[in-house]
């Protein structure tokens, strides 16, 4: 039998990090639909993230993306966040929007371009120092579009050299988390295309280097939960970038396209002790809300992660293990499906009430009047930088 009070305690302890860029205007290659009331600067993004935390009680951290969130005084930005009960989460580097990076950044053939990329990554570590952020999140758009365009092995060498320099700059409590992506913007080959490549670089770098699993970055049909189980077993799962996809890197709300996949992933997290604070797995959203209201969409996403987490925690692991060791195929599968098919919404309402929160976070947000206030006050919101 699953211990309900332990499930509740784990749900109360879970922390979900929200992305600053999820609050700003964004779009596709075809159109950015501007919304009213969106933040005009990083401070206003933090204000919106604070609304999500107030409504859900489990979103106390916000990831920054540099240069989208560049400010003059990062310590002041972190203090502003703290005053609102938030902390700065991962600092995301951006080596994909500068003309100099047309043929890549840290893997570029030209040492001057590589230098510029590494200097940016080092600046991100300075920002971590100023804000108290623990994680440097690296994603590289590096790759090629045409066979023969550049030397695949040479690019790995240059990537490794850049990573080593940045890794050496990290403080004792800081980590480098390395994200992979199968394709896009490069289409022939990507320099960090999969978890194996990321993992191999992390192993060489040292224990402060971990892999980021962005759920939208795989080939269709990839068994992401296997990757999660493997990385947890090796203690190299640093973080999730959660989102949903139907086709490519869609960046839709997590748990919307395939809630069963999200459950399977979080079941591996639960089974392999990945929710324990000591494992330091960061549960981050990486999403853009192009056609739906942004703050409510982030709240909905947080709730989707909570619902999948609750179901994963409800899996009766003793029953599962005995069915597995007895070779009871249907019995083992039924244990998982029973948990997945449980309606956990009443449980989560109860958890929120015990935390002194409104049981319905979306209604709680609507009741604040924040949306009307920002629509009236904020004129001329900025783009997230994404889809610009
Ligand atoms: C790349 C990515 C990466 C970026 C973010 C905006 O597709 O997932 O995490 O930093 O999108
Ligand atoms: Mn991502
Ligand atoms: Mn992505």
CB 249 near ligand 1, within 6 Å: yes
* Structure confidence at residue 387 (pLDDT): 44
* Structure confidence at residue 172 (pLDDT): 98
pLDDT in tens, 320-373: 999 999 999 999 999 999 999 999 999 999 999 999 999 999 999 999 999 999
* Structure confidence at residue 275 (pLDDT): 97
Atom of ligand 1 nearest to the CA of 216: 8
Q: Report the pLDDT averaged over residues 29-44.
A: 95
Share of the chain above pLDDT 70, in %: 98
In which band, very low, low, confident or very high, does the pLDDT at 384 lie, cut at 50, 70 and 90? low
Rounded distance from Cα 375 to ligand 3 centre (Å): 29
pLDDT of 388 > 50? The answer is no
pLDDT in tens, 166-207: 999 999 999 999 999 999 999 999 999 999 999 999 999 999
Distance of CA 118 to the CA centre of its chain: 23
Closest CA to 232 of 270, 192, 194: 270
* Structure confidence at residue 1 (pLDDT): 74
Rounded distance from Cα 200 to ligand 1 centre (Å): 20
Largest Cα separation within the chain, whole Å, is: 64
Q: Report in angstroms the alpha-carbon separations of 90 from 20, 109, 132, 159, 248.
A: 10, 29, 10, 21, 24
Q: Which of 141, 214, 282, 285 to mutate to test the pocket of ligand 1 (most atoms within 8 A of CB)?
A: 214
d(C-alpha 156, C-alpha 10), whole Å? 40
Q: Which of 286, 288, 386 to mutate to test the pocket of ligand 1 (most atoms within 8 A of CB)?
A: 286
pLDDT of 385 > 80? The answer is no
Close Cβ partners of 141 (under 8 Å, ≥ 6 residues apart): 95, 96, 101, 104, 105, 185, 186
Closest CA to 75 of 92, 85, 88: 88
Whether the complex's predicted ipTM is more than 0.85 is answered with yes
Rounded distance from Cα 181 to ligand 1 centre (Å): 9
Rounded distance from Cα 329 to ligand 2 centre (Å): 35
Q: Report the pLDDT averaged over residues 82-111.
A: 98
Rounded distance from Cα 286 to ligand 1 centre (Å): 7
CB 140 near ligand 1, within 6 Å: no
Q: Which of 62, 92, 287 to mutate to test the pocket of ligand 1 (most atoms within 8 A of CB)?
A: 92
Give the start-to-end residue ranges of the domains of the chain.
Answer: 4-377
The CATH superfamily label for domain 4-377 reads: Divalent-metal-dependent TIM barrel enzymes (3.20.20.150)
Please tell me the residue having the least CA distance from ligand 1 atom 3: 139
CB 286 near ligand 1, within 6 Å: yes
Rounded distance from Cα 355 to ligand 1 centre (Å): 33
pLDDT in tens, 226-283: 999 999 999 999 999 999 999 999 999 999 999 999 999 999 999 999 999 999 999 9
Close Cβ partners of 35 (under 8 Å, ≥ 6 residues apart): 25, 293, 294, 381
Q: What is the pTM of this model?
A: 0.97
Q: Report the pLDDT averaged over residues 108-124.
A: 98
Q: Report the pLDDT averaged over residues 114-120.
A: 98
The residue behind tokens 């992933």 is 265
* Structure confidence at residue 381 (pLDDT): 63
* Structure confidence at residue 2 (pLDDT): 86
CB 241 near ligand 1, within 6 Å: yes
Q: Which of 17, 179, 182 to mutate to test the pocket of ligand 1 (most atoms within 8 A of CB)?
A: 179
Rounded distance from Cα 336 to ligand 3 centre (Å): 29
Please tell me the residue having the least CA distance from ligand 1 atom 5: 286
CB 181 near ligand 1, within 6 Å: yes
CB 180 near ligand 1, within 6 Å: no
CB 142 near ligand 1, within 6 Å: no
pLDDT in tens, 131-152: 999 999 999 999 999 999 999 9
* Structure confidence at residue 386 (pLDDT): 54
Atom of ligand 1 nearest to the CA of 243: 8
């Amino acid at each position: 039998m699953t211990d309900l009070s332990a499930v509740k305690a784990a749900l109360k302890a879970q922390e979900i990090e929200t992305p600053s860029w999820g609050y700003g205007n964004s779009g596709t290659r075809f159109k950015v639909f501007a919304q009213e009331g969106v933040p005009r600067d990083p401070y206003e993004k933090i204000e919106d993230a604070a609304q999500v935390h107030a409504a859900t009680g489990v979103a106390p951290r916000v990831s920054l993306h540099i240069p989208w969130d560049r400010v003059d005084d990062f310590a002041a930005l972190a203090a502003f966040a703290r005053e609102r009960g938030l902390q700065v989460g991962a600092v995301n580097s951006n080596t994909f929007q500068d003309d100099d990076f047309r043929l890549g950044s840290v893997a570029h053939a030209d040492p001057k371009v590589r230098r510029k990329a590494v200097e940016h990554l080092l600046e991100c570590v300075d920002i971590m120092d100023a804000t108290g952020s623990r994680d440097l999140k690296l994603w590289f758009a590096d790759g090629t579009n045409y066979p023969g365009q550049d030397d695949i092995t040479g690019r790995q060498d240059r990537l490794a050299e850049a990573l080593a320099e940045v890794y050496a700059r990290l403080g004792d409590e800081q980590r480098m988390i390395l994200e992979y992506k199968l394709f896009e913007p490069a289409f022939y080959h990507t320099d960090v295309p999969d978890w194996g490549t990321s993992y191999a670089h992390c192993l060489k770098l040292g224990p402060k280097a971990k892999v980021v699993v962005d759920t939208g970055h795989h080939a269709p049909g990839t068994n992401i939960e296997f990757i999660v189980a493997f990385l947890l077993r090796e203690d190299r799962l640093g973080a999730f970038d959660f989102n949903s996809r139907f086709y490519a890197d869609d960046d839709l709300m997590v748990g919307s396209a395939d809630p069963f996949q999200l459950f399977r992933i979080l079941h591996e997290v639960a089974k392999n002790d990945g929710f324990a604070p000591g494992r330091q797995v960061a549960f981050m959203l990486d999403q853009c809300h192009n056609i739906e209201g942004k703050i409510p969409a982030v709240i909905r996403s947080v709730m989707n992660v909570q619902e999948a987490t609750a179901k994963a925690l409800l899996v009766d692991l003793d029953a599962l293990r005995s069915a597995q060791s007895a070779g009871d195929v249907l019995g083992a599968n039924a244990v998982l499906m029973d948990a997945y098919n449980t309606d956990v919404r009443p449980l989560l309402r109860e958890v929120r009430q015990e935390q002194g929160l409104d049981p319905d976070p979306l209604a709680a947000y609507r009741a604040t009047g924040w949306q009307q206030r920002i629509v009236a006050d904020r004129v001329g919101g900025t783009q997230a930088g994404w889809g610009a």
